[in-house]
Chains A and B, each alone.
Chain A
Amino acid sequence: MRLRHPSVMAVAAVATLVLSACSAGDLGSSDSDSKGGGKVSLTYLVGNSEASVRSAEQVTKDFMAQNPDITVKIEPRPEGGEGDNLVKTRLSTGEMSEVFGYNTGSLFQQIAPEKNLLPLDDQPWVGQLDENFKKTVTAGGKVYGAPSGAFMAGAVMYNKSVYAKLNLQVPKTWAEFMANNAKIKAAGIDPIVQTYGETWTSQLFVLGDFHNVLINEPDFPEKYTKNQAKYATDPYAIKGFQHQEEAHKAGYFNKDFASAKLDDGVKKIANGDGAHWPILSAVASNIVANYPDKAKDVGMFPLPGDDAADNGMTVWTPGGLYIPKTVEGAKLDAAKKFIAFMASPEGCDSQTKGSAPTGPYAIKSCKLPADVPQVAKDIETWVNKPGASSLALEFLSPIKGPALEQITVEVGSGIRSAKAGAELYDQDVKKQAQQLGLDGW
């Protein structure tokens, strides 16, 4: 009897060893592979915001309907700093998905495109790219990405019904804006919504003000890249920080600004509990999805500067779609086909169906339908007016420090003064410039 126990244990141990040899990959849910034959499967890595995922799902559905022999699986990734981390690590270890979406401009430069990405100059859609967009996905003279999504603006989202009720006009200068805020506060509504529970949203006072900097100093980006201009000492650049400090000191933020999350902000602005929200217009698609009957109540106007004549919107080019260098063979052809679909009028329509666009597309042959949200219509009027819009700094200079969102949270919460915050940010970007190996730092 005693002898049987060791042999039973031995059998159990061997059986466990055999089971552990089975690799999880064979048992995966890949229905395409099980069919055998010429089915190619791609993975599309996309940011996990509601709008991005919905748009990606619609596009992949339409693409797979058109191309039955290709399956595209969506893999969401976090946004912000953690997303940067993931993308950079995967590219460095050669494990990136066949197609991935990521920012354009300075963040694009930071993922070493010439080393990690496949140049797409030879693709048919390159001629259809908006000129401004092309600049933001070019490195060393070659184009590396196609647009994903539409232009968006960093500006002040406002509730039109509050304005109508209190008989206010869209402000053209900062002084007018603050006067409006005083009237709104007197009426018992939160003048400015802030959502520091989602730290990236705190940056818009500074980033959205860039048009006002550029129109007064057209060479600011070059000087900034060469360490000859700084936020703390430039009289126009520091205004963004100062405005945020001023708005906090005047008590115009909502009571729970320090812990409010993005959805709280969307709820407030859609329902008219908050009048203004300096934010990226992409958030309008959350309004359309969650409060569809309120979408016509929400519009957008640019962050005002000191001079009414210089008023203009700071715009962000859409994200980019890239292919890493490690993709080859049938998967490469499939990936190129997928990107070509995204960059065509059908792709644009598909993206519109998935998530309401909040600005014009970056493909010349794509037109916006008439039933886009009010925010997109407002942005289009500014973008179409010559000289009334500028690209954000991150598209004109490769330097963007990672700690800006924390610094602006501090300035907006009254923890740090505007000047100290600007100085801290200048110190922060020094690390980035050195990491990129730029001269003059």
Chain B
Amino acid sequence: MATTTTPALASGTGRRTAPAAGKRPKNRLDHQYPYWFYLPAAIVYSVLFLVPTFASFYFSLTRWTLFDVEFIGLDNFVAFFQEPALVKGLVNTVIYGVITSGLKVVLGMLLAVLLTSQIIARGYLRSVVFFPVLLSGIGVGIMFQVMMNPEGLINDALGLFGIDGPGWLTNPSLALYSVALIDVWKGVGLATLIYIAGIVSIPREYFEAAKVDGASSTSSFFHIVLPLARPATVTVIILSLIGGLRSFDLIWATTRGGPGFSSDVIASVIYKQYQAGFYGISTAGNVILFILVTAIVVPLFMFLSRKEVDL
């Protein structure tokens, strides 16, 4: 897929020559003027993102009650890693992120291949697959909580086939995975959409050439679609991983982190600490989440981008 770069600076008025990469016109006015366009966005970004992030780094080292602040060093982080419930939240977060991301990539790709081939009602099916993405997380969570009740709709349906459905949300070993499956149902539409965009942009010549050479459809999938849809795959992995690691509203609406602590993730742990008034520990949890997401996603992004293939 061709990667396009937009001209970095809109060069003022009526300059006929586009600025070549790395060369700047000598005129000082022209040099300074474009940078001022960054200012509004920079202000919003600093005030709403940079300042709170650095402030939270500071507050995570304190015990505070919104008005009194007491500096205690790394005690909050020590408490976070010593309490089994909090460590479990960390572990669950990684499991949840990896499962939802993996499933969305695989299912999204399969659905995209299906939805870019010649099938009946393709447009309708695309809308049906994408529809859950538009629903509110809380609404989906409450709905599935009712359906996944041990005597609810899903187990009744399974009962028709003679299968004794388990307690999806009440069995502590299943709760997290059930919520992960709900998340995949809800989010796979977005992954499919990105993949469809990626697949559709592959020129038809490749497929035709492959068919002339006698390639089967599986072989053309593995040798044409997969490599050339690489940027789409990277996007889906990164976006779904970030979303999965930060996920909160779905988990809160289905199980509140229950039963007990078995489906707690970092976001719900942070929220519970905040509810109890432990603002310092809750901020420390947020810092840990920030570090976790950055530490996983940044190296992954660099690794995956290196292998991008240009058309």
Contacts and interface: CB of A to CB of B under 8 A. Distances in A.
B84 interface: yes
A424 B84 contact: yes
B66 interface: yes
Interface string B209-220: 000000000000
Interface stretch (A135-143, A311-319, A400-408): A400-408
A82 to B, nearest CB: 6
Interface in A382-415: 402-403, 406-407, 409-410, 413, 415
A241 to B, nearest CB: 13
B169 interface: yes
A432 B276 contact: yes
Nearest to B173: A415
Contacts of B150: 256, 258-259
Interface stretch (B12-20, B110-118, B131-139, B259-267): B259-267
Contacts of A434: 63
A403 B272 contact: yes
A402 B86 CA distance: 13
A435 B63 CA distance: 7
A427 interface: yes
Given A199-B258, A431-B281, A259 B167 contact: yes
Contacts of B260: 406-407, 409-410, 413, 415-416
A85 interface: yes
Contacts of A410: 172, 259-261
Contacts of B256: 199
A434 B79 CA distance: 11
Contacts of A435: 63, 65, 277-278
B298 to A, nearest CB: 32
Contacts of A427: 82-83
A409 B259 contact: yes
Given A402-B272, A435-B277, A435-B278, A409 B258 contact: yes
B35 interface: no
Contacts of B262: 415
Could you say which of B260, B261, B276 has the most chain A C-beta atoms within 10 Å of its C-beta? B260
A258 B66 CA distance: 36
Interface in A193-231: 196, 199
B66 A92 contact: yes
B225 to A, nearest CB: 44
B167, B261, B281 pick with most chain A CB within 10 angstroms: B261
A434 B76 CA distance: 11
A39 interface: no
A213 B193 CA distance: 61
A430 to B, nearest CB: 8
B259 A431 contact: no
A310 to B, nearest CB: 31
Interface string A292-325: 0000000000000000000000000000000000
A127 interface: no
A256 B259 CA distance: 13
Nearest to B170: A258
A378 interface: no
B65 A112 contact: yes
A110 interface: yes
A196 B150 CA distance: 13
A273 interface: no
Interface of B: 63, 65-67, 79, 82-85, 149-151, 167, 169-170, 172, 256-262, 272, 274-278, 281
